[in-house]
Amino acid sequence: MKEKYGKTYGSYVYGIKELHTEDLDIMREVFVKQANHFLNRTFIVVADPKNDHSVIRNIMPLQQGENWKRIRYASAIAFTTGKLRKILPHFNKSAHMLVREIEYYANNDHEISVHGLMQKFGLTLNARAIYGLEINAFDENNSAFIKHAKQFMKDFSFFSPKAMFMSMFPGIVRWFERYTDYEFLSNDAAKFFKKLLNQQYNKHLDEIQNGIVTEGAPDFMQILMEAIEEENKGQYISQDDEDIMHSNIKIASKKQHVRKIEIFGQCFQFLLSGFDSTGLTSIMTLYILAKHPEIQTKLREEIFHVCGDKEELDYEDLRGCHYMYQIICETLRMYPPAVRTNREADSELVINGIRIPKGCQIAVPIYLIHYDDKYYPNPQKFDPDRWLPEEKAKRDPLTWLPFGYGPRNCLGLRFAELQIMMGLAHIIRKFEFIAAETSPDLPVDISSKGTLKTITELFVKARLHN
Ligand code: HEM
């Protein structure tokens, strides 16, 4: 299509008008300058504010209009730097478990499945940091937790038969779900997580109402509930966190209640994003490091220099690892978990001479932009130096979109970065990673149906570093 029609062209996708664009000026209008007209995203599964049962129908990415603003605004407070610092002890604890797991493989000279390892790390960390559950996903006895998370991700994919059915008969499915407590997409998984969420919610509600101060680090659900409490009281925070707060978006009414099922919806989605998107980035970063020993050595030197051999790493330690951040940025360029995103026009508009009808979906192909050699010469090459401050400053920020852009960007971007950095800082210090003999060369083959996945499983070996 691109060869024939250029960087911007219109088409129909499942009967919806779509404008595909890689034009940075049009993207700037959509994501930034006229963002107020493009706040909604088109999804195959739609939100249902009247549904009091479904955790899935209440997740943030599906929400529209004022409903989205209310939930985003209240939740964003929980993602500010100050709040994230509070949950870092959970990140450290999970990274210690990751180290112990790798030690076992290193001592026995076994190959490690990078997927298995990093997904278990993601689940352990997110179960602890978000739900406050003392779960160790490395232990096979916790397989129910892993099984349900995996099942849900499979069903949630754009191409799963259930998601297709929901898109073909949205009214029937929505009506059915609203009046029963059946979750069409992944009933068993949704029930499993809802039960866990309910237990934690009741525990925290009791603590908040009775002024009980819990020992140790709070979990994210607790922080979210407290943030919503603060928001409802009209207290507010500084604008330090503009990249997630987006002060240019006006909220119709700040004091609006966030329902219990909506809190469940957000916590549920945060867990899955930690498992799926952050998991993929951790997998790819570790594999790339195993394939690039010189980059791995340089990173190890930086970690020792910045963090020494401290067991508990804090926010400043992680933020001080600039080279590690460059490596993660480059991994996200080459392997962005979300290969595309979209926005829906709320009215008829003309942008750069193109008439955009109301309801038209503007589709932005993140992956293609990341491989455009105009912005990234030799795009197949993994090169963290592209992210040196002086190199980065030469590029338009809209050429790097792993977390999307504008007021509807990824709310968990800093949470994700901290999760990846915490894992890497602990394990690269202790181990040297080598790609297993059978492992494919870079760049690895990927499938971009739904979120990005590698076609084959990736394996590495670990040796204790002296
Ligand atoms: C490397 C990891 C991650 C990547 C690459 C990623 C990527 C994305 C992308 C591309 C979007 C759509 C943005 C847009 O359309 O402009 C998004 C939305 C979102 N992400 Fe992430 N994400 C990651 C991890 C996380 C984590 C860990 C959380 C929560 C803890 C999270 C929470 C969200 C939320 C709530 C939204 C919806 C925002 C809204 O609709 O207002 N993400 N993410």
Domain CATH for 98: 1.10.630.10
Can you say which residues are annotated as belonging to the binding site?
410
Q: What is the pLDDT of residue 245?
A: 56
Q: What is the pLDDT of residue 276?
A: 84
Q: Is omega for the bond preceding 384 within 30 degrees of 0, making it cis?
A: no
Q: Where are the beta strands (DSSP E) in 41-153?
A: 112-113
CB burial string 177-187: b at 16+ within 10 A, e below? beeeeebbbbe
Q: How far is the CA of 427 from the centre of ligand 1 (A)?
A: 25
Q: Where are the beta strands (DSSP E) in 22-125?
A: 112-113
Closest ligand 1 atom to residue 341 Cα is 15
Can you say which residues are annotated as belonging to the binding site for heme?
410
Closest ligand 1 atom to residue 405 Cα is 16
Non-local CB neighbours of 110 within 8 Å, separated by 6+ positions? 104, 461
Kindly list the averaged pLDDT for each block of 10 residues, start to end, along the chain of length 466: 81 86 97 95 76 84 89 85 91 96 95 93 90 83 75 70 73 79 77 89 86 81 78 51 55 63 89 87 97 98 96 96 98 96 96 95 96 97 98 98 96 95 98 92 85 89 90
CB 54 within 8 A of CB 42: no
Q: Is residue 11 part of a domain?
A: no
Mutate to test the pocket of ligand 1, among 121, 269, 273, 332 (most ligand atoms within 8 A of CB): 273
Q: What is the pLDDT of residue 19?
A: 96
Q: How far is the CA of 140 from the centre of ligand 1 (A)?
A: 29
Tokens of 172: 């029937």
Q: For residue 13, give the H/E element and its range.
A: strand 8-13
Closest ligand 1 atom to residue 406 Cα is 16
Q: What angle do CA 447, 191, 80 make, to 5 degrees?
A: 70
Distance CA 66, CA 412 (A): 20
Q: How far is the CA of 168 from the centre of ligand 1 (A)?
A: 26
The CA R_g of the chain, rounded to the nearest whole Å, is 22
Q: How far is the CA of 210 from the centre of ligand 1 (A)?
A: 34
Q: Is residue 277 part of a domain?
A: yes
Q: Determine the residue type at 413.
A: L
Count of domains in the chain? 1
Q: How far is the CA of 409 from the centre of ligand 1 (A)?
A: 7
Q: Which residue minimizes the CA distance to atom 18 of ligand 1?
A: 410
Q: With CA atoms as reference, report the closest residue to 19 among 10, 28, 31.
A: 10
Q: Is residue 361 part of a domain?
A: no
Q: Give the residue numbers spanning the domain of 226.
A: 34-338+371-464
- Report pTM: 0.91
Q: Is residue 352 part of a domain?
A: no
Give the pocket of ligand 1 (CB within 6 Å): 41, 60-61, 72, 269-270, 273-274, 277-278, 281, 337-338, 341, 402-405, 408-412, 415-416
Q: Is residue 399 part of a domain?
A: yes
Q: Is residue 100 part of a domain?
A: yes
Q: With CA atoms as reference, report the closest residue to 28 among 369, 394, 398.
A: 398
Q: How far is the CA of 270 from the centre of ligand 1 (A)?
A: 9
Q: Is residue 351 part of a domain?
A: no
